[in-house]
Structure 1
Amino acid sequence: MDNEEFARDLRIDMARLWVFIDRGWISPLILDGRPVFQDIDLARAKLIADLSHEMGVNDEGVDVVLDLLDQLYSLRCAFGNMLETLEVQP
């Protein structure tokens, strides 16, 4: 999916899409100098758009929400790994 398609799906303009990328909210692959978006980028960008448009969260608030979600995901993964390790213990 290219830039224009991606922005159109989110109903945002290209300038706002670059804010998403520049702030590190989404991290598309870069091929031949152009971003290539994956499903995870679209899901995360839809969340960001909802936070911004539907809930009125400003950019600093989006930073906080995404940081907390990323921490939660990391903790969930670490907890899952710990459970797997404990399951194999006698």
Structure 2
Amino acid sequence: MLLTLDEVVTRIDSEGLTVSQAQLIYFAEQQWVRALQEEGSWYFDEQDAARARLICELRQDMAINDEAVPLVLRLLDQVYALRGLLGDVQQVLRQLPAEERAEIEDKLRAALES
């Protein structure tokens, strides 16, 4: 479901943060979010609305300036991608026989402790 500019502003404001329509458009123009512009109106999916909220939090609560926002977003995207990859690895490990799984887990523990 796509959300309008007004809906995203209302949602973010209701969570104790402050954002204007102009700021959300700026986020889209900077390609920090992938909002869709159609017939002069902006639309956001749930993921981009959440990302806009995160950007507001970074800027307001953590005092991250606009020059640093792309770097922080890129790093967070990498963290999320790594978490997904680790989830995939866990699924593969669960499918291994118990003896092989235990051996791999022991090696992982040893690597983390060094």
Q: TM-score range by the shorter chain?
A: 0.7 to 0.9
- 1:5 and 2:7 are equivalent in the alignment: yes
Q: Unaligned stretches of 5+ in structure 2?
A: 13-17, 98-114
Which residue pairs with 2:89 in the alignment?
82
Task: Using structure 2 for the length normalisation, give the TM-score.
Answer: 0.64
Residue 53 (structure 1) shift = 1.9
Task: Using structure 1 for the length normalisation, give the TM-score.
Answer: 0.77
Superposition pairs of residues 38-53 of structure 1, within 5 angstroms: 38-53=45-60
Rounded Cα–Cα distance in structure 1 between residues aligned with 2:24 and 2:4: 12
| Superposition RMSD in Å | 2.1
C-alpha spacing 1:32/1:84, structure 2 compared with 1 (3 Å): same
Rounded Cα–Cα distance in structure 2 between residues aligned with 1:67 and 1:12: 22
Matched residues, percent identical? 34
Which residue pairs with 2:28 in the alignment?
21
Rounded Cα–Cα distance in structure 1 between residues aligned with 2:86 and 2:52: 26
Question: How big is each residue's C-alpha offset from its partner over 1:6-50, in whole Å with a ceiling of 9 and x where there is no partner?
Answer: 23443323321122112222123x375443223322222111111
Aligned length in residues: 89
